[in-house]
Amino acid sequence: MISRQALNRASPYVFLAPAAAVMLVALVNPVMQSVWLSFHEWSIGTPPDQTRFVGLENYRWLLASQAFWTSVSVTLIFAAAVVVLETVFGVALALALDRELRGMSMIRTIFILPMMIAPIVVGLIWRFMYNEQFGTLTTLFQALGLPTVPWLSSPDMALASVIIADIWQWTPFIFILALAALQSLPASAIEAARIDGANGWQMIFFIKLPLMAPVIVVAALLRLIDAFKVLEVVYILTEGGPGLSTEILSLHIYKTAFVSQQLGRASALSNLLLLIVMAITLALVAVTKLREAAARRASAREV
């Protein structure tokens, strides 16, 4: 007869088993197939039994491809820009709206609406707004007597246009987390700063932001992970053009797989992207663990 202690120890694994099985089928199996395929040459339409083993050839091609390095540089610029700007704007909005005013609940709801829209719809909205003939921005610029901006047709402006669309959609994510962090700050620290005569800016830079730092760092890392996986908005807006000016890594993988129909090379690219995302994820876990350890040490010193 199984003891109650044994049942208690086994119960978490029993409840986790269905989720683990789904993860094994839906995640681990495709990843293993992608790794296997990255060592083979296989095109769409070729029977699976006719794949040809090429060893590390796909990875050598990847490292020698100028298009690959261009997509990496575009991805890094895109990810850095959106994470920094979304973090700054999201935290600033949270600080501005962390007060009790008439209609503030409605204002907060309006600010988070873009995050709820599907990425394809976001791409279509901004594509119409950027249209150089009848777009909203073109009409506005003409009304102000300003020259028309080639938002999507200029290599110098296309990436900036994609960045603006992403900032519009995902700044609310940072805003929500920053606002939650603000509202959970210890009242004693805020009150002590007020008693000591701290003004508004001093409260922000020396009290609120340092206390919010753990949440801000985690939110920024989550956005960084997601920035490496963006595809739909970029595809709808520019399809990677003009030239390769907006071809981020995920779009380069898509084109390699379904336009060039080189599934082995696309798998090698996908594995590299997976490694990048895993590295960022491990960094996120490490930051979280360090923050928790620091909090425990601070609590121990207070005791």
Judge residue 35's burial from the number of C-beta atoms within 10 Å of its C-beta, 0-12 exposed, 13-18 middle, 19 or more buried: middle
CATH topology of domain 65-302: MetI-like fold (1.10.3720)
The pLDDT confidence band at residue 234, using thresholds 50, 70 and 90, is: very high
In whole angstroms, how far apart are CA 9 and each of 1, 6, 14, 15, 205? 15, 5, 10, 11, 47
Tens-place pLDDT, residues 249-268: 999 999 999 888 899 999 99
Q: Could you check whether the bond before residue 242 is cis, i.e. omega within 30 degrees of 0?
A: yes
Tens-place pLDDT, residues 44-86: 777 877 788 999 999 999 889 999 999 999 999 999 999 999 9
Segment holding 40, helix H or strand E: strand 40-41
pTM across the whole model: 0.87
**Residue 142 tokens, joined:** 């003409």
Tens-place pLDDT, residues 106-128: 877 888 889 889 999 999 999 99
Average pLDDT, stretch 148-167?
Answer: 93
Nearest alpha carbon to residue 107 among 117, 118, 119, 93: 93
